[in-house]
Amino acid sequence: MAANKKILVLPGDGIGPEVMGQVRRVVDWFAKHRAVGFDLNEGLCGGAALDKHGTPLTDETMADAMDADAVLFGSVGGPKWDDLPFEKKPERGLLRLRKEMDLFANLRPAVVFDPLVGASSLKPEIVQGLDLLIIRELTGGVYFGEPRGIETLPDGTKRGFDTQVYTTPEIERVADVAFDLARKRRNKVTSVEKANVMHSGVLWRQTVTDLHAAKHKDVELGHMYADNCAMQLVRWPKQFDVIVTDNLFGDMLSDCAAMLTGSLGMLPSASLGAPDATGRRRALYEPVHGSAPDIAGKGIANPLAELMSYSMMLRYSFDLAEDADLVDQAISKVLAEGKRTADIAEAGATTVSTGQMGDAILDALDRLGR
């Protein structure tokens, strides 16, 4: 590569720094053996930023994120900060990044690795070979809709309210991403909403239908209500290729899809903005798992979702498919050789620590080639 690309690394809280530590070893390996050089700049986000600066994301870190070629994110939050007022919560740091970077398309693949078929709580034949992609709208809907708040009514009781709102362009741009990605896969999109009870759902379905007729007729399109989709995901997940849905349904359905793979510790994600005139798009990569306060500090967290997030970064932000494939192959190899962190281990199996999983990945990379 020409000038080094700039990566902002935000490990965050809980297990975030632990899993990121292993990914940084892999980043170093690529710099050394594959000449994939990045300028890494590390910053604080979430509770870590709050403790140091009194805000979950400083304006400087926000500016660094806007300036970076990609952001590699860990996880935020923890019981220590649970009782803070809404605007100070660690999660606000992440939501601000998503909103101000305009990362409207959140790609959450759920892929079942063959050796992990037994780690899923579903029967092997239901999940074996599963490969689906949830595309979650990430900058709209009830997460950001106005008005929102808690007010006191004249009789002294309170009323809490949020607004679910979507515009045609917001729906179109995320659906475009879904159709485009489906073409590179099995060519099928399922659009998910609650058009039976929500106006925003009616508009969502209509807009996706119109867009499909106008631009994407070559892709198979189906519609599904969100509750049915949750049920279908555990009944027969292999019916899906690409699912496109709003911010809140995407949040819930992606947790559900994650468990099909055996563990939340196996799910990466990419959050992408619109390409500018030069084709560059803002992007943030993060594991779907959160900060997991219950296991933080114990050195047992699974670093693979963070590592797959790095692989997605190589693929989507830097067009380094060969290097991304190498990361993915190292992961498959290590799993095939039986290495398991506790979250993906079957009962009674021996497990490795976060650091040992990192060791195994580096060893596999060495063996796979440079």
Could you tell me the smallest distance in angstroms from the CB atom of residue 94 to ligand IPM?
6
Q: Which residue is nearest to Mg ion (CB)?
A: 251
- 94 interface partner picked from Mg ion, ligand IPM, none, CB below 5 to 8 A per type: ligand IPM
- 210 interface partner picked from Mg ion, ligand IPM, none, CB below 5 to 8 A per type: none
Verify whether residue 227 is a known catalytic residue.
Answer: yes
- 91 interface partner picked from Mg ion, ligand IPM, none, CB below 5 to 8 A per type: ligand IPM
Q: How far apart are CA 266 and CA 156, in angstroms?
A: 47
Q: How far apart are CA 285 and CA 305, in angstroms?
A: 10
Strands 131-137 and 242-245, by their bridges, are: parallel
List of residues contacting ligand IPM (CB under 6 A):
91, 94, 251, 290
CB of 91 or CB of 100, closer to ligand IPM: 91
Q: Given 241, 251, 323, 328, which residue is catalytic?
A: 251
Could you tell me the smallest distance in angstroms from the CB atom of residue 246 to ligand IPM?
12
Could you tell me the smallest distance in angstroms from the CB atom of residue 135 to Mg ion?
15
- 17 interface partner picked from ligand IPM, Mg ion, none, CB below 5 to 8 A per type: none
CB of 212 or CB of 289, closer to ligand IPM: 289
Site string for Mg ion, 237-276 (x = CB under 5 A): --------------x-------------------------
CB of 290 or CB of 358, closer to ligand IPM: 290
Q: Given 227, 294, 319, 366, which residue is catalytic?
A: 227
- 13 interface partner picked from Mg ion, ligand IPM, none, CB below 5 to 8 A per type: none
CA end-to-end span of the chain, whole Å?
A: 16
Could you tell me the smallest distance in angstroms from the CB atom of residue 367 to ligand IPM?
34
Q: How far apart are CA 361 and CA 357, in angstroms?
A: 6
Could you tell me the smallest distance in angstroms from the CB atom of residue 86 to ligand IPM?
12
Contact present, 234 and 256 (Cβ < 8 Å) = yes
Verify whether residue 194 is a known catalytic residue.
Answer: yes
Tell which residue, 10, 62, 80, has the closest CA to residue 41.
10
Could you tell me the smallest distance in angstroms from the CB atom of residue 165 to ligand IPM?
17
CB of 139 or CB of 207, closer to Mg ion: 139
CB of 74 or CB of 290, closer to ligand IPM: 290
Verify whether residue 143 is a known catalytic residue.
Answer: yes
Q: At what angle do helices 168-183 and 199-215 cross, to 10 degrees?
A: 50
Could you tell me the smallest distance in angstroms from the CB atom of residue 252 to ligand IPM?
9
Q: Given 69, 143, 241, 246, which residue is catalytic?
A: 143
SS3 of the chain: the string is CCCCEEEEEEEECCCHHHHHHHHHHHHHHHHHHCCCCEEEEECCCCHHHHHHHCCCCCHHHHHHHHHCCEEEEEECCCHHHCCCCHHHCHHHHHHHHHHHCCCCEEEEEEECCHHHHHHCCCCHHHHCCCEEEEEEECCCHHHCCCCCEEEECCCCCEEEECCCCCCHHHHHHHHHHHHHHHHCCCCEEEEEECCCCCHHHHHHHHHHHHHHHHHCCCCEEEEEEHHHHHHHHHHCHHHCCEEEECHHHHHHHHHHHHHHCCCHHHCEEEEECCCCCCCCCCEEEEECCCCCCCCCCCCCCCCHHHHHHHHHHHHHCCCCHHHHHHHHHHHHHHHHCCCCCHHHCCCCCCCCCHHHHHHHHHHHHHHHCC
CB of 262 or CB of 290, closer to ligand IPM: 290
Site string for Mg ion, 117-156 (x = CB under 5 A): ----------------------------------------
Q: Given 194, 241, 285, 333, which residue is catalytic?
A: 194
Report the site for Mg ion in 44-103 (rule: CB under 5 A): none
CB of 94 or CB of 296, closer to ligand IPM: 94
Q: Residues with catalytic annotation? A: 143, 194, 227, 251, 255
Residues that bind Mg ion (CB under 5 A): 251
